[in-house]
Amino acid sequence: MLLTNLESVPGRRIVSHFGLVQGSSIRAKHVGRDLMAGLKNIVGGELKGYTELLSESRQQAIDRMAAQAEELGANAVVNVRLSTSSVAQGAAEILAYGTAVSVE
């Protein structure tokens, strides 16, 4: 599955469009990570636990989007966009969406 966030796949020609595909994942942080982050908040710097958590769920959202595109018979997703929003306190929703196409 080819993914790009451009209108096309550079070097390939788009043969057909399959429309919008999307995948999302909502994750909550857990108490252990919260505790570590609370300590880290005093000295500042990267909160590795949260970075991991969010990149895992981002990957999952992208995978789900790719799976949906595959179901439609596409072999690429173009113009992929990512967005994050917090749906509840301590939980983040990550959304990946794009246009499923098939390329040569």
Partner 1 sequence: MELFVVLLNLAAIIALPVLGFVCGSVAESRHYRSIRERESRWLDKPALTCRTPLDDSRTVARAEMAVGSVVVSVDYFKRILAQLRLFFGGELGAYASLVDRGKREAILRMREACPNADAYLNVRLQTSSLSRGERQMLGSVEVVAYGTAVTYAHGLHPEEAREDG
Residue 3 Cβ vs partner 1, minimum distance, rounded to whole Å? 4
The site for partner 1 (CB under 8 A) is made up of 2-7, 9-12, 29, 37-38, 40-48, 50-51, 54-55, 58, 62, 80-86, 89-90, 92
Residue 62 one-letter amino acid: I
Q: Which residues pair with 95 in a beta bridge?
A: 24, 83
Residue 73 Cβ vs partner 1, minimum distance, rounded to whole Å? 20
CB contact at 8 A, 95 and 61: yes
Farthest CA pair distance, the chain: 54
Residue 70 Cβ vs partner 1, minimum distance, rounded to whole Å? 16
